[in-house]
Structure 1
Amino acid sequence: MTQRTLNTEETARPAPAGSVAGGARHGTPRAHRTLRPHTLLVAAVAWLLAAVFLFPYAEMVITALRPVHELRDATYVPGEFEWANFVDVWHESNLGDNLRVTLLVAAGSTVLVLLVAVPAAYYTARMKFRGRKLFLLLVLITQMFQPTSLLVGLYREFYQLDMLNSVWTLILCNAAFNLAFAIWILTAYFASIPEALEEAAMIDGLGRGGALLRITLPLAMPGVVTAMIFTFIAAWNEFVMGLTLSTIPESQPLTVGINSFIGNYTVQWNYLFAGSVIAIVPVVVLFALIERKVVSGLTAGSVK
């Protein structure tokens, strides 16, 4: 009798808060949260803005696939897609050489900028030397100069050094014009990392360089990635210096090579847009892979 009473009391005891009800265990659907009109309006506006910004890229892809006889048709979608445009633009022009030059220039400029900017930014953030503010001011002033204002001097200098039509020339120029931004962003990022972490590492036996490589640099990796991606994209999209310092078609970057489809009397729109699609794909893929680190690097230090 006593055992039966205890079982009855346990069955009648209410379930604790937050526990799953018996009906829910057997597949009873949960109540869905209703969307507010404000949320729906914001989502609709966001999708509309995304469509507006993506429409030119969609038009570029569609035009790249248009046959020659449909280039002047006032239709958004062609009657047939000419996939051979991508093959023809690759074989009938120097686009392969231009892509190779652009990859070398963008990668070389990025590596050179990081090799110089990381130690410079670290020393500026950690050492309170005389003239530190003047150094940062000079770095900022160099960022204010436009490459086009220095083209005549740069052309004359590299002409005397016999370095025209060289990949190294474009690497040096792109690295020089992107170095200031990398130093500034990395200086702010290194300054936000507590110096006590490095002091603890040096007490354990590491030197200043070891503390930088093993402690500070991994923590500053979002800032390094941010400087890397911005330098890479700036070097990838550069046009004016490539047009001025490279006169041989095989040594020109991709942006200049695509411009060759624009003639004095005719424009090869299908090849022009096909080359543009090929040019943006590597940057889009690279940015999509490291987008989170770029955002975290740009917002570092905004919330304490």
Structure 2
Amino acid sequence: MNLKNTCISALAALCITATPALAETLRIGGNFPVEHSSSKAIGMFAEAVAKATSGDLEIASFPAMQLGGAKENVDQVRTGVIFGTWIGTAYLSRTVPELEAVSLPFAYPDRETAFKVIDGEVGDILSEKLAEHGFVALGWMELGSRNVTNNTRPIEKVEDFKGLKIRLQPNETHLATFRAIGANPVSMGISEVYSALQQGVLDGQENPYSIIKSRQFEEVQTYLSDTNHFFDYIALVVNKRKFDRLTAEQQTALREAAAEAVAWQRAQAAAEDEASRGQLVEAGMVFTAIPDDVRGLLRELTAPVVDELKNRIDPAIIDTVLEQAAN
């Protein structure tokens, strides 16, 4: 090799060495509004990942259904079109039916109990089931206790549910629960709910207070209750194939960043839940508390829903949820 070629080769090697590696961008889509605590937590997650990996990994988040609705996001993650999503577990339950075990009616007396369940053996079992379907669970945020609103009457007794057309998520346990108490449940995407309430296609809907407020349902609903019939989680899940291709250090960075973001979101969600209920009442909604005896009757009426679910998924998972929730 002559001197000229040697210099060219050396220069080329120097240029290659000096060229910085391009960061890998991982897209995460969600259906929660930008201002929701879970969307803010994902922003924190992205910042922490970038810092921990010195910019080698970048999380690009797309809240507020920018990449499609909840069902689309689940399909996109499963097929690898996007890296991940943060989503109410009901939308994952069609793919991983075992998730219905943590959506039992009237199972949790408070959020502390709900998180004790998901952070223990039950969460480990569900993470394994998610992995079997191509997902890696990075954390469980709070969606919250769900409460009914409607435009027909205050809910003070069991009979007040009779015939109400209530929008629910696409979760069979949720739908069966409302059939059991005499309502007429309707599965519908969240993007359609406001107009359906406004036009009278629906009598009501059920959501945590923070979602009722962020979706501005107080504009088209009159009555608000504290049914607390389900406690819902938001799962942060990513595509397993893509996650497994990352280095061990990058995987650790993602898990640690997710843990920090989840802890922040849970605390924030608890504060927002209380504040949102007050804001809904201030906006003119009529609030009615459900008496303890009525809640007991509702629990009795929905007990067969739990028995039926044991015919569809491993009953041991359900028994573990109920046991840990009771202790």
TM-score (norm: length of structure 2): 0.27
TM-score (norm: length of structure 1): 0.28
> In proportion to residue count, which structure has more strand?
2
> In proportion to residue count, which structure has more helix?
1
